[in-house]
Amino acid sequence: MSEIDSLKSQLESLQAEALAAFAGAADLSGLQALRVQYLGKKGALTEVLKGVGKLAPADRPVIGKFVNQTKQALAAALDAAEAELAIKAKAARIESERIDVTLSGRKAGRGALHPVQQGLDELTAIFSQMGFAVAEGPEIEDEFHNFDALNIPPEHPARAMHDTFFLKDIQGDDGEPMLLRTHTSPVQIRAMKHFLAEGGEPPLAVVAPGRVYRCDYDVTHSPMFHQVEVFKVGRDVSLAHLKGVLQHFLSAYFEKDVAIRLRPHYFPFTEPSAEVDIGCVFCAGKGCRICKGSGWIEVLGSGMIHPNVLKSVGIDADEFSGFAFGLGVERMVMLKKGIPDLRLFFENDVRFLSRMGVMK
Ligand code: DAH
């Protein structure tokens, strides 16, 4: 074979080999390595060109043209392969990042009102609809409002019964001891004083929902719980008004006609005083485990506001009278919803809360 034919066939097989290699390149960096291998300064084509020197001068342009063609063919094939790999890489990336836009989204959990909050709202709303004004008082109280003004003097045994949390490091404006209020009854005093200071004249009817504290913890007692205090002061306010309001409110709250019973009792801030029972909502008065067979369940304390309480805020007890009652919210909610254990309210188990809570 002549020198020139041998070079030509070398170039042909080089081209065939290179094209096959380009086609088989797995990625862009592999292709780049092949570009160097075939077209680089020390590449295969350069190697073949070294043979050109041995040719007769007349043959050199012929083979030169052939070399150029091969070079162009390889360069073009490389560019094409590169473009193809770039498209493939892009497609692979799109595939790997694919998201299914038709999938349904994650649900954002919807909150519910805590059953105690719901009870507070319901109870307050019933009285609000009857024309009682809503009032709130401070949870940190002084002895005057929590006890003295409510006719519970310092030596009174009722003070001991209240299991009061006294605050060691806080004192009132006049240096008096401060405490966490043990009931919402002090709001009676604050609301009456405020009303009078604003130039008001009885009648005055107030509902006061709020948090109260007692140093007590067992199945039926929590150190923090909620009460609603209700009272009305005016001319000729009588026990009949108290009974009528109780009858209406208890039936509205339990959403049925409940029987009520007033049992004589003692509270320092009312005279006469009564505990109020309702016909058992679980057995309709027949007698069951919950009402301990009596058919009655105690729900609240009530009475006619003691003259000393009215006097403590400067209301003339000969001219005005009033009724008052106070109830425990947790207890009312337990009775309405059949919740057996007070502690469920405070354990924050979402299974309980989402079952009992009302979506708003
Ligand atoms: N303050 C009382 C308590 O927490 C409840 C109470 C009883 C309130 C009788 C009243 C009432 O207004 O008349 O035990």
In a domain, 284, yes or no: yes
Domain range for residue 68?
3-96
User: What does the DSSP assignment read for 276-301?
Assistant: EEEE-TTTTTS--TTTTTSSEEEEEE
Indicate if 138 and 270 belong to the same structural domain: yes
Percent of the chain, pLDDT > 70?
99
Q: Is the pLDDT of residue 162 over 80?
A: no
Q: What is the mean pLDDT of residues 16-37?
A: 89
In a domain, 178, yes or no: yes
Indicate if 342 and 236 belong to the same structural domain: yes
Q: Where residue 197 sits, what CATH number does that domain have?
A: 3.30.930.10
Indicate if 84 and 123 belong to the same structural domain: no
Q: Is the pLDDT of residue 173 over 90?
A: no
Indicate if 27 and 136 belong to the same structural domain: no
Rounded to the nearest angstrom, the distance between the alpha carbon of 226 and the centre of ligand 1 is 12
Ligand 1 in reach of 186 Cβ (< 6 A)? no
The residue nearest atom 8 of ligand 1, judged by CA position, is: 326
The residue nearest atom 10 of ligand 1, judged by CA position, is: 325
Indicate if 12 and 61 belong to the same structural domain: yes
Domain boundary among 34, 63, 96: 96
Q: Which atom of ligand 1 is nearest to the CA of 150?
A: 1
Indicate if 71 and 139 belong to the same structural domain: no
In a domain, 247, yes or no: yes
Q: So what's the pLDDT on residue 142?
A: 95
- 112-133 b/e with 16+ CB inside 10 Å = b? bbbbbbbbbebbbebbeeeebe
In a domain, 105, yes or no: no
pTM exceeding 0.75: no
Q: Which atom of ligand 1 is nearest to the CA of 270?
A: 13
In a domain, 195, yes or no: yes
Q: What is the mean pLDDT of residues 203-210?
A: 98
Mutate to test the pocket of ligand 1, among 325, 329, 330, 332 (most ligand atoms within 8 A of CB): 325
Q: What is the pLDDT of residues 218-229, one digit of tens each?
A: 878 899 999 999
- The DSSP symbol for 183 reads S
Indicate if 75 and 119 belong to the same structural domain: no
State the alpha helices, DSSP H only, in the chain: 3-24, 28-39, 44-49, 60-96, 115-129, 143-146, 157-161, 186-197, 239-254, 307-312, 329-337, 350-356
* pLDDT category of residue 158 using cuts at 50, 70 and 90: confident
Q: Is the pLDDT of residue 360 over 60?
A: no
Rounded to the nearest angstrom, the distance between the alpha carbon of 223 and the centre of ligand 1 is 17
Mutate to test the pocket of ligand 1, among 127, 189, 192, 267 (most ligand atoms within 8 A of CB): 267
